[in-house]
Structure 1
Amino acid sequence: MKGVQEISKSPSTSKRTLVSQGSVDVYAAQCNNCLKWRVVETQEKFEEIRSKASEKPFICSRKANISCDDPADIEYNSTRTWVIDKPNLPKTPQGFKRSLVLRKDYSKLDAYYITPTGKKLRTRNEIATFLKDNPEYKGVSATDFDFSSPKIMQDTIPEIAEQKDSANKKVKIAKGDT
């Protein structure tokens, strides 16, 4: 199960720039049978597929009028930065939104949750406090939220990206140097 972080090339430079403020712009799932990528229309549908990945693997026919004989919706390549989300993560509780933000150095994505009131929560403790202070969200538990960070596919990171080496110094890496 993979999500896609959309990255585009800026027309004025060869460096890539984020299309939106660092969150996932395209969701995709890989067919368990033919291994083709299918775009998933919404984050909610993606989370539904991801939450049941082991018990009900995604297959092309789950999309209307699509079969394994049809061309892929999207190709895995370095025109965008791809990330692998962990399978079987719980669906985000109704009314909340899971947000993934790519760090400038492409080292990881940070997971946050946006409450129905628009507040950004960064930790399970913040979620627990919010739920305690807002009893109208009964039935929702802090354990319903997962801050796991998807794995960034190194072969899809832009050719030149600032990353920190083991000595915590910023270094420019060329594609293929990992």
Structure 2
Amino acid sequence: MKDAQETPKSSSKVSKVKQGSVDIYAAQCNNCLKWRVIDTLEEFEEIREKLTEKPFSCNRKAKLCCEDPADIEYDATRIWVIDKPNLPKAPEGFRRSLVLRKDYSKLDPYYITPTGKALRTRNEIAAFIKANPEYEGIALSSFNFSSPKIMEDTIPETAGKKSSANANKRIKILKDDV
């Protein structure tokens, strides 16, 4: 997953402009609203999976409390994204991966199988499970292809925004309709 900033009851992730890479996972404390770095993807997924029933708080990390300074500040030094709360943790052996589009418009979710194959849809997951009976017990509901929201105020001004050619086509179509 990429960077993320979320509401106090949400989890988050953080990534640099480096495409397809996450450099920091973070969660925002439900009490003091400070950002705390989460050490591993596994720990982050556990927090995100149960966020509504068990909101993240500073004291969840050893030797940390709300009076301590934030681990990281929300700013434009990296791209932040908001991941949805309560997404299921990737099944054992699988890894959820997010790839940032070149135009910074969206993160595309993939699941990497234990064999290293990237799957983009539930249909591909179902076909993989059917072809590999050792994964038969894994429910399709364990896979979520929701895309995190990119925080636009953290996208670099020099980043490749959506092509204005599409905007020009829309304008032309509108003019032709008039």
Who wins on radius of gyration, i.e. which is larger? 2
Separation (CA, whole Å) in 2 of partners of 1:145 and 1:168: 33
Aligned to 1:3: 13
The alignment partner of 2:134 has SS state of helix
1:146 is matched with: 144
Match of 1:92 in 2: 90
CA offsets 1:140-171 (integer angstroms, 9 cap, x no match): 0222100100000000000222222586259x
RMSD: 1.5
Supply the distance in 1 between the matched residues of 2:159 and 2:63 (Cα, whole angstroms): 40
User: Aligned-pair distance for 1:23?
Assistant: 2.5
Distance, in Å, in 1 between the alignment partners of 2:166 and 2:147 is: 20
Which runs of no fewer than 5 residues in structure 1 stay unpaired? 8-17, 171-178
Specify the alignment match of 1:15 in structure 2: none
Asked whether the 8 Å contact 1:98–1:111 carries over to 2, the reply is yes
Q: Is residue 111–residue 118 contact of structure 2 (8 Å, CA) maintained in 1?
A: yes
Q: Counterpart of 1:163?
A: 161
One-letter code aligned to 2:127? T
Looking at structure 2, the residues matched to 73 and 66 of structure 1 have their Cα atoms a distance apart, in angstroms, of 10
Percent of residue pairs identical: 71
| Aligned residue in 2 for 1:173 | none
Structure 2, gaps ≥5 residues long: 1-10, 169-178
Q: Is the 8 A contact 1:131 1:141 kept in 2?
A: no
Q: How many residues align?
A: 158
Alignment of 1:1-178 (within 5 A): 1-7=11-17, 18=18, 21-164=19-162, 168=166
